[in-house]
Amino acid sequence: MASCEMCGKDTTSLKTSVVAGSTMSLCTHCSIMGSMKQGEQVKSVGFKKFTHDDVDLEIPQNYAQIIQQGINKKHLTPHQVARAVNLKESTLSHYLKSQIKPDIVMARTFESFLEIKLVYEVTKKSIDVEDYKASSKDSSDDSSNKLANMFANLKK
């Protein structure tokens, strides 16, 4: 039989709850108390962290080519482009020669002005799943959590 991590009571229906940022297996009573204690502030911080970790923004290696194609399509001179995106012409030429990689803000500016796709969202989900598997492999809590979830589903 598993016991509640908050009050230590032995119970067959443990619920996995997040209390103050850490995951705990709690009895029904404590999981209700835990969710009541959790303020709005904790929730919003957690959400921000999640979105930051989950999606990464990347600029492809051939960014210079993509920018150049955008410029060609619009029949613009480097001078016109530099003025439009508020860059020095010399800086723009560095980008076009692959000497400097634009940051996300700069890339977004090129995107909207030249109507090109320069920033890609890369999800890290697959990596997280691997981490999760590795860390929970030898955890004995895993089976008791499954049991708790089974009970939780039966009650619905």
Q: How many residues does the chain have?
A: 156
Told to check if 148 binds Zn ion by CB under 5 A, we report: no
Q: Of the listed pieces 27-35, 39-47, 65-73, 113-121, which binds Zn ion according to CB under 5 A? A: 27-35
- Shortest distance, position 37 Cβ to Zn ion, whole Å: 13
Told to check if 59 binds Zn ion by CB under 5 A, we report: no
Told to check if 32 binds Zn ion by CB under 5 A, we report: no
Told to check if 7 binds Zn ion by CB under 5 A, we report: yes
Q: What angle do CA 40, 45, 50 make, to 5 degrees?
A: 125
DSSP code string of 53-84 = HHEEEE--TTHHHHHHHHHHHTT--HHHHHHH
- Shortest distance, position 145 Cβ to Zn ion, whole Å: 15
Told to check if 4 binds Zn ion by CB under 5 A, we report: yes
User: For residue 59, what are its two tokens?
Assistant: 């600029």
Q: How many Cα atoms are found within 13 Å in the side-chain-facing hemisphere of 156?
A: 6
Q: How many Cα atoms are found within 13 Å in the side-chain-facing hemisphere of 94?
A: 9
- Which residue, 13 or 149, has its beta carbon nearer to Zn ion? 13
- Shortest distance, position 119 Cβ to Zn ion, whole Å: 47
Q: Which of 2, 14, 24, 27 contacts Zn ion by CB under 5 A? A: 27
User: For residue 43, what are its two tokens?
Assistant: 């929730």
User: Where does this chain bind Zn ion (CB under 5 A)?
Assistant: 4, 6-7, 9, 27, 30
